[in-house]
Chains A and B, each alone.
Chain A
Amino acid sequence: MSNERKKLLLVGDNPFHGISHLSQERARVRGDAITHAEYDAELVMTSVENGADGFMFSVSETTLSILKIIREMEGIKSLRLYALVPYAYEYVRLATQVGGILGLAKKIAKQIAVSGNIRAIAMGFKGVIRTDPIALMKTYLIYEISRIKSSAGKQANLESVLLHEIITDMALALNLDWLFKSYVDFMLKLGMKPGFETRNFSHLVKKFREWNINFNKITIAAPFNKVGFQMNSSKTECERALANLPESHVIAISILAAGYLRPSEAINYIRTLSELKGVVAGVSKEHHARETFKLLEKNLA
């Protein structure tokens, strides 16, 4: 099956955070070089020169520094930005250090207060007084979006803000339809496409249909790869769910199954999924960036 139009090609940030889902050992061996923001910014821009359209990133100090450098290189206008919030693994680590969820909440509240973002502070205050989870979610989103904008600048094209898989999948498991709906409404009001990263794609599609969430208005990022890695509950179920979503904006992540597959194998599989609107690929070296995106552009155009 061939694609009628070019798929959106995004650079992923996992290697910049020292993440390898194939092997943590491999991530360590890659070492510190790759976690230098200047180097990472160059990799993103090299990818763009070779066919990438944008950058999908978790909002962290590392990626904000990368965005700042790209902005200084005057490359920000050419990037379509897809942000993932929160950077869950950093928060989990922080929770371990500061003593659980309450300690973490205090720490984030302090960061928001120090940021001086009046809108976020006011909404957060309301959220705490009324114990209103929606107000707190909005506070956090305003805070994160303002961080992105202050690093990437006004010219940045922030197309979508996606909820990180931990939040999406936990809310999905708990059937929190009101949270998903509030998030979608709030992001649309801000003029951005609401998005969801998930490792339970088929389950998410089923639930969103039940809850009448409009697939045309959202972005979904989910694993799609030849070996079914992280395609829960199964590869077949995920493919079936995707086939029934022709008008949606689904972006495939983990297309290389975390480095388990060769790019050509990965591409051959992705080409069979015409409903996919884009793919994300992480790169850790300059020649990777050139080869991977050249190959993706050539084969997914």
Chain B
Amino acid sequence: MLDRQNYLNVKLFLKYSRVVHGRSSLQISNDFEHLKSLLLWAGSQPFGSVPTINTSLFDFLIQKAVNGLDQAELQSILNTNQRFLLWVKAMFPVEFQNIRLSWIIKISAIMEGKEVII
């Protein structure tokens, strides 16, 4: 079973994106599909403790991508997840104090092959 609070945070982020950033319903729907992978990866663990998960999000997506995920789609998923984690850390700094900014930036940098030095 997935952590319900994670799901509620994702829903809150989608609502925020719609109301504040004016993202379209199609974009919201795509974002939700991308964030589902983050929810499945976190499983029953709250987002606040995800850096302790052994498998990285990138590896999880690669394992899941047996049925074909191209590089652009993978990058898009990682970018959405990064955007969500940055937002959640900004909105709830106390609950998500365990998530380091460097860790969040590393999420999509892995795909781009960049070296992260913070």
| A pairs with B | no
